[in-house]
Amino acid sequence: MKSAAITGPGRLEIIEQAVPSIGPADVLVRIRACGICGADPHALAEGGIPAGRPSTPIGHEPAGEVVEVGAETIGLAVGDRVVFDPTKVGDPITGGGGPQGALSEYVAVRDAVRGENIFSFPEHVPWHVAALCEPIAVARRAVDRTLPKPDHKVVIFGAGPVGLGALLAFQRHGVAHIVVADVQPRRLEKALQLGADAVINSAEEDLRARLVQLHGEAIDAFGRTGLPGTDVYLDAAGVPAVLEAVFAGPKLGAVLGIVAIHRTPVPVDFQMLIPSELTIVHSMGHPTEMGPVMDDITENTEKYAAIISDVLPFSRLAEAIDLAGRPGATDKVVVTLA
């Protein structure tokens, strides 16, 4: 079978290797689509996962078809359309340093348990839309970690796939008002299309002043006024300016959720944050979120499909990764395998 691997800094190769064999508790999945994560172009530039590893199979946003089942598997059959959790395949993370990558023709899911590490979906969901399940599950966990309430007013920084997934997750929580901030007008238009109450182009507008207009004015424990009335800040952008804007003065009891990858350290004056009693939560992965997210994609397929901007065949994989790595060039890239 063909499998994509990083073999050095900037070196992407399509390697021929044997189809994985399965045991009695495993299933073999023929990959039909795999999303390109924003981390994939960085991994290619750095030469692997971890950086500098001699050869790294890539791809961790899979959707595919079960083509072989072990004798001991329950509730799974040949022909099932599935997504699977790349962190729970019995090996180190699929496409994240493990021996398998989902940008391959086949992946073996070890100890496959339907509803735990592998999730089925119906025929009306296209392969490329089902492949959103993994990154949207990342967004769902980040949102859930902020403990949103119906009366909360929220701002999401970053209108990429995870930010838009967070928008849909906050909507499911029924929060009072959702703002999306970004610097790309096209992405802000998509956020409005998906139901954001307002958007802010932070390259052109005073972010904090606009939040005061939208969410009202609040105070902190020292009685400092003029602070945005925003209850939840979610960082899906990963740029220092986001955290600087939050740390400049959140309201008393605000929550900051961080799901973005920050590649440079950000200085924090914690003394200045004491009167806000700001809660900071991080999130990683999706230990329990992929099942509910796949159900939501099944129910709202067209809405999720709007997140995807480019669908390219496996033969154009290098182009797909390059496209995903160019800021402002695209929104979400998914690769399909015949």
What are 14-65's pLDDT values in tens digits? 999 999 999 999 999 999 999 999 999 999 999 998 877 778 999 999 999 9
Amino acid at 241: A
Cα torsion 222, 223, 227, 233 to 10°: value is: 50
| Dihedral over Cα of 52, 161, 237, 277: its sign | negative
Residues 6+ apart with CB under 8 A from 89: 98, 100, 107, 108, 109, 110, 117
- Nearest residue to 156 (alpha-carbon basis) of 178, 138, 174, 140: 178
**Domains within the chain, CATH numbers bracketed:** 2-132+308-336 (3.90.180.10), 136-282 (3.40.50.720)
CA-based Rg of the chain, rounded to a whole angstrom? 21
C-alpha 88/C-alpha 337 separation (Å) is 22
Residue 338 has what pLDDT?
79
| Dihedral over Cα of 330, 308, 139, 203: its sign | positive
Residue 121 has what pLDDT?
98
30 pairs with which residues across the strands?
A: 65, 106
Residue 47 has what pLDDT?
93
Tokens of 29: 């999945």
pLDDT by position in tens, the chain (length 338) = 999 999 999 999 999 999 999 999 999 999 999 999 999 999 999 999 887 777 899 999 999 999 999 999 999 999 999 999 999 998 789 999 999 999 999 999 999 999 999 999 999 999 999 999 999 999 999 999 999 999 999 999 999 999 999 999 999 999 999 999 999 999 999 999 999 999 999 999 999 999 999 999 999 998 889 999 999 999 999 999 999 999 999 999 999 999 999 989 999 999 989 999 999 999 999 999 999 999 999 999 999 999 999 999 999 999 999 999 988 778 899 999 97
Angle, helices 161-173/133-145, rounded to nearest 10 degrees: 50
Residue 91 has what DSSP assignment?
A: S
Q: Are 314 and 32 within 8 A, CB to CB?
A: no
